[in-house]
Structure 1
Amino acid sequence: MSSGGILSLPNELLIAIATAGQGGSVAVQQLRPEWSLSQVCRRFRDIIVGAPVLWTLIELDLHSDMLADIANLYFTRSQACHLRTILRECKDTDDELIAERLSVIVPHIHRIRQLRIFLFANPQIALAPLRHVAAPNLERLEIRNTLEAFEMNPVEIFSLGAPMLTFICMKCITPHFPVPWAAALTHLKLHRDGEWRDSSSSLAATITTQCLCLAHLSLSVVYLEMGRLHLPFLERLHIEIPEEDQHHLLAIFDLFDTPALAEFTISGTHADQILVLFNSTSLPHSSFPALTSLTFVNGSCACRVIPADAHPITSAPRLFPALSSLSLIHQCFTPHLVTGIFASASTWPLLQTLTLCPPGHRSLDDVCEALWNARHAKARTLPKVRLSAPLLARILSREKEEEEKSGMDMEFFDPSQLISAFR
């Protein structure tokens, strides 16, 4: 398009182009579309500056000396519009300086609908400006701290209320429970690394008594030392077990009274505990009548020998009568699990999909062999198998070598999509 053509764009189209360009996140303010387009000519500047909707996404570097000036420019040009605000800190910024710069947004907190903060700091100091504050229109809050200081005390934020808050994600930061903004929560993610422990039952009590609308919950198991959770409307649950922890799966499952739960994902599991879970017939306090999807994820498992007391799977898990989808991601002893599942396939009446992503390459041949042998299982139609790229390639290679089809319904599965969903 010629220069004259660009300059002749209708006002509405120019604003639409600038709005579309705001979909990505950039670190340098001058590269944002509202900045670059406003510098093309006087007409463009008048249009862009006069469109409040283009100044509602505020991205600020907390280490920048220009933060206050840039923030005030956005607060002014956005007029009365609701805001989305992203604040980032580099590692070398002083905690008290972070707090001072974070305080710039406090007078405008009533306009902020979404707030994301990325820290490398002591959160009790850095987040102090948000302590005795009300956020009446805040709907989504995300705070991620990469400073792994496990001894830090819980942080109090928005003590004057945030009645519209439905989504919270916090990493390496613990809110001070009970909180005055839990009633509307539908999504809650709290994750910590390492061996930090919650020293009270306040979290479990708060979630059970206040988060009555909670539908999606993602927690590190270290938050669940002191209590059980009764969540009648919870639909999706993700629990993360630290690598050094030795929590037993049966004890973890028995913490949840969640009759509506449909999807359950546990990270940090081992095959011997999965076998015990599958062979169990009941839990003292919990049941999962609506659970249709169950996923076990492991990271870098070093297990080499399966324990002698890990009994093979003899039937479908009675604990999960509605289970239709089972996923084993980077799970140790995947061949052992696959053999047991297919050997008892006739007793899994609703199982439709089995997703497999073995750890590394050392077990690919064994998993391939277990799947190949499943063709001869005298059972009902086998479930569809979703396979990681290396495993699918190994199966297809074997089909080619032996000039024989496996007879399985197979498709590709990318495990990175599942794992990144909980980061």
Structure 2
Amino acid sequence: MERATSNHTPPILRLPNELIAEIAAAGLNEAARHHQVESPIPLSHVCQHFRRAILGTSALWTKITLDVYRNGSVNISRLYLERSATRELRVSLKAVFGDAEASSLLHLIPHIKRISWLSIAYLSPEALSGMLAPFEGVALPRLQHIEFDNYGDLDDRSTNLFSLDCPGISSLILSSCLHSGLPPHWLNNLTCLELKEGSSLVDEDEWDIFLDIQTQAPCLTHLHFDFNWSYGMDNRRISSKSLTHMHLLFPDESHEGVLDGLASCDTPALIHLTLHESHGDQISLLFNAPNHPETAQLVFPALSTLVFISVERYGCNKDPTDTENFEAIAAPPLLIFPSLSSLTLIGQCFTARILSETLGPESAPWPLLRTVTVRPLEGDVDEVYAALQEVVQWKRKRQEPLPAFRLSQNLFARGYWQEAGVDVELPDDREVLDLLALPAKH
């Protein structure tokens, strides 16, 4: 007996426009996290139904990139401006191959008051002037975040960086920019400041940072500062009662670099500290700071998250078997970080010793530590694995709670954790990028 067949085609599932828009927005956000091109245009080509939903959703067309030297960029930006309707805009302007013609940006003028996020990448002061020309004499009431990225000569001062009329600015990022100071109306509401790639806000010959952030930027909560061009921290001070997050980059491999950079900090509200391009021997000095008269008073009373991170950008040429410069850690740094609950060690030399001497046999209890993230150098994996095993066994012997371990793939895959009943987690690699927050260029 033959099976009856139907000639009817199953109905096509038609997603609501709102759901299509949510899918598109999620895809764009994911592309941004991976530093990939984010555009709703490819999704509008799926089918006619998708096309109508994508083109009719103004929220998907608010991120505008205008490269004055890329064919079609001006026309595409016009398209985005039209489809974004009346929504706030995120605008990136680029002129990194020469000077910018102000005429390329004239179509932005009717929409300037909608801009809430602005990034300007330029090759020369002339290119910067060309991109700032449409903004002259126009108030930007919604602008809260601005970035300046200089692809040219760092010694070329850009005197008109802060000529924009944006009374509500709260976030500022400078990369390879020199300037003699921020105007007061920019400082009053500033909550986030990032000075990268040798950027400075003071006299070129001093290579200093704010002598007193608390006075000049009373609302500042986030600070990112690169010490690439700083010649030590003598007579310098980062002082702020409001600062909660700080990211400091120390490319200098000298043993004192990190310790000197922190010894002059007065940040009692700081809860998150990232030390970028630190080294294990510098960590040992920092953890032993209470034993040295010049740093005995160093303390971060509210700090809960401490991150030490190093990447191949600078590398590490220290021999882990050479202990001459590694000062044995006497105890967990409870006097410096009494509230610390999360410790991260990424790409650090001497990681095995740091773990053994702060959490292993003969170490003092570290009662508030709840999470330890470890991503060792490739050549140190076996030694770090043995140190972690030692920590587990020692903590259990003393009946102390184990911190949650978040391990790199080459540690996570080891069989000991399951055999010993230890819960470990494999963190997402994107977390490292988030910790670094490095600029795309350079």
TM-score (norm 2): 0.75
- Aligned CA distance change for structure 1 residues 344 and 135 (closer, same or farther; 3 Å): farther
Q: Report if the CA contact (8 A) 1:194-1:242 is conserved.
A: no
**CA–CA distance in structure 1, aligned partners of residues 389 and 79 of structure 2:** 64
Any idea what SS the aligned residue of 1:101 has?
helix
Query: Are 1:263 and 2:272 matched, yes or no?
Result: yes
Selected match of 1:289 from 291, 301, 322:
301
Q: 1:366 aligns with which of 371, 377, 383?
A: 383
| Partner SS for 2:373 | strand
Q: TM-score, normalised by structure 1?
A: 0.78
Q: Which residue of 2 aligns with 1:349?
A: 367
Distance 1:33 1:199, change over 3 A: farther
Establish whether residue 334 from structure 1 lines up as the match of residue 335 from structure 2. Answer: no
Q: 1:206 to 1:155 in 2, by over 3 A?
A: farther
| Aligned counterpart, 1:172 | 176
| 2:298 and 2:336 in contact (8 A); partners too | no
Q: Percent identity?
A: 30
Q: After the TM superposition, which residues 380-395 of structure 1 pair with which residues of structure 2 at under 5 Å, given as runs? A: 380-394=400-414
- Deviation of 1:259 (Å): 0.6
Distance 1:195 1:202 in 2: 7
Q: Which residue of 2 aligns with 1:130?
A: 132
Cα 1:313/1:74, change in 2 over 3 Å: closer
Per the alignment, in what secondary structure is the counterpart of residue 281 of structure 2? helix
* In structure 1, C-alpha distance between the alignment counterparts of 2:54 and 2:281, rounded to whole Å: 61
Q: Secondary structure at the match of 1:346?
A: coil
Q: Deviations over 1:216-275 (max 9, x none)?
A: 222212476573122212111111112567652221112321111111110111111111
- Matched-pair contact (CA < 8 Å) for 2:276–2:310: yes
Equivalent residues in 2 for 1:31-42 (5 A)? 31=41
Select the residue among 238, 248, 257 that pairs with 1:229.
238
Write out aligned runs for 1:63-212 (5 A). 63-72=69-78, 74-75=80-81, 78=84, 80-88=86-94, 93-97=97-101, 101-102=104-105, 104-106=107-109, 108-117=111-120, 119=121, 121-128=122-129, 129-130=131-132, 132=136, 134-145=139-150, 147=151, 149-154=153-158, 156-174=160-178, 176-179=180-183, 180-192=185-197, 199-200=205-206, 203-205=209-211, 207-212=213-218
Whether contact under 8 Å (2:198, 2:227) holds in the other structure is no
**In the aligned structure 2, how far is the partner of 1:112 from the partner of 1:221?**
32
Q: Work out whether residues 156 and 176 of structure 1, in 8 Å CA contact, stay in contact via their aligned partners in 2.
A: no
Runs (5+) with no aligned partner, structure 1: none
Is contact 2:155–2:178 with CA below 8 Å preserved after alignment?
A: no
Cα distance in 1 between the residues matched to 2:197 and 2:88: 31
Q: Does the 8 A contact of 1:264 with 1:294 survive in 2? A: yes
Among candidates 253, 262, 265, match of residue 262 of structure 2: 253
Residue 214 of structure 1: aligned partner: 220
One-letter amino acid of the counterpart of residue 339, structure 1: S
Alignment-mate amino acid for residue 311 of structure 1: E
Instruction: Encode CA deviations 1:167-210: one digit per residue, 9 max, x unaligned.
Output: 23333334552233222222222211699995347741474333
Corresponding residue for 1:313? 329
Whichever residue aligns with residue 348 of structure 2, its letter is: Q
Change in CA separation of 1:164 and 1:365 when aligned onto 2, cut-off 3 Å: same
Alignment CA distance shift 1:315-1:327 (3 Å): same
Q: 1:264 to 1:27 in 2, by over 3 A?
A: closer
Root mean square deviation, CA, Å: 3.9
